[in-house]
Amino acid sequence: MNIDQARREHAARRATSVVERYCQVHPDSLLAKKIADRSVTGVEAYQLLKEFARDPKTDVARPDLLHLTIAHELDGAATHGWPISIVIVDLDDFKKINTELTHVGADDILRDVAEILREGVRDSDEILDDDGTVVRWGGEEFVIVLVGANNENAVRVAERLRTAIADGFIGRRPNGKPVTASFGVATWTNLDDGEWRDLLIKADTLLARAKAEGKNRVRF
């Protein structure tokens, strides 16, 4: 099986699982009722969920469905034995950027960073899933889900993204100040216990370490 076919099959399984999990959590929702009376297909329901969970400012996903997606991916990883990595990205000194560029200019930076992250994930050969894996976690923070990426591969992806951000905004801040981001990378393997929250907490702890050690770096 080639990578494109594997990605298509994986995407189909994820769509079914996320919709089922959503309906279990929200059995009285309009979407659950539409699925029950067959007004929409599972694929259509998943597309509706993705659109509902899209962040209008950056055009990546909001965190609404993140826990459902990660829970599915952890189940798949346990079944198939592949790893899953979480990368948390936080723009450095964003309050200063807001002050320098006003909210309008800072929002432009956020949108461009989101595009760098999305394109970087899409072009990566290290992962199985390149659809819907970049999430705006809140403010200037993003979460990236890298299915099939072990820690070494996830760190490689994070380093590429870090460099792309550091090189991508020359001249956008006054006095030549750079735009940079810090990264925390955590990886789950089928030898690990725990749930999706544990993986996020571990990545967030590593992100805090990157900030404390000087910013503009990846910690894993």
Tell me which of 9, 44, 140, 152 is the catalytic residue.
140
Same domain for 59 and 71, yes or no, is: yes
Q: Are residues 21 and 97 in the same domain?
A: no
* Largest interatomic CA distance in the chain: 60
Domain carrying residue 169 = 55-219
74 and 169 both lie in a single domain: yes
- In this structure, what CATH number is given to the domain that contains residue 137? 3.30.70.270
Are 24 and 68 contained in the same domain? no
For residues 42 and 120, state if they share a domain.
no
Number of domains making up the chain: 2
CA torsion, ordered 114, 118, 120, 124, to nearest 10 deg: 160
> Annotated catalytic, 140?
yes
pLDDT per residue of the chain (220 residues) written in tens, 0 to 9: 566 777 778 788 888 999 999 999 999 999 999 999 999 988 899 999 989 899 999 999 999 888 888 888 888 888 878 888 999 999 999 999 999 999 999 999 999 999 999 999 988 776 766 555 899 999 999 999 998 899 999 999 999 999 999 999 999 999 899 999 999 999 987 666 667 788 899 999 999 999 999 999 999 9
For residues 172 and 125, state if they share a domain. Answer: yes
Q: Are residues 94 and 39 in the same domain?
A: no
Are residues 107 and 26 both part of a single domain? no
Instruction: Give Cα separations from 116 to 60, 150, 151 (angstroms).
Output: 11, 21, 21
Of 52, 71, 90, which residue sits at a domain end?
52
Residues 6+ apart with CB under 8 A from 100: 173, 174, 177
Strands, sheet with 218-219, edge to edge from the N-terminal-most edge strand: 134-138, 141-147, 84-91, 181-188, 218-219
Residues 96 and 171 in one domain: yes
Within this chain, do residues 141 and 190 fall inside the same structural domain, yes or no? yes
CA dihedral sign, ordered 50, 75, 133, 219: positive
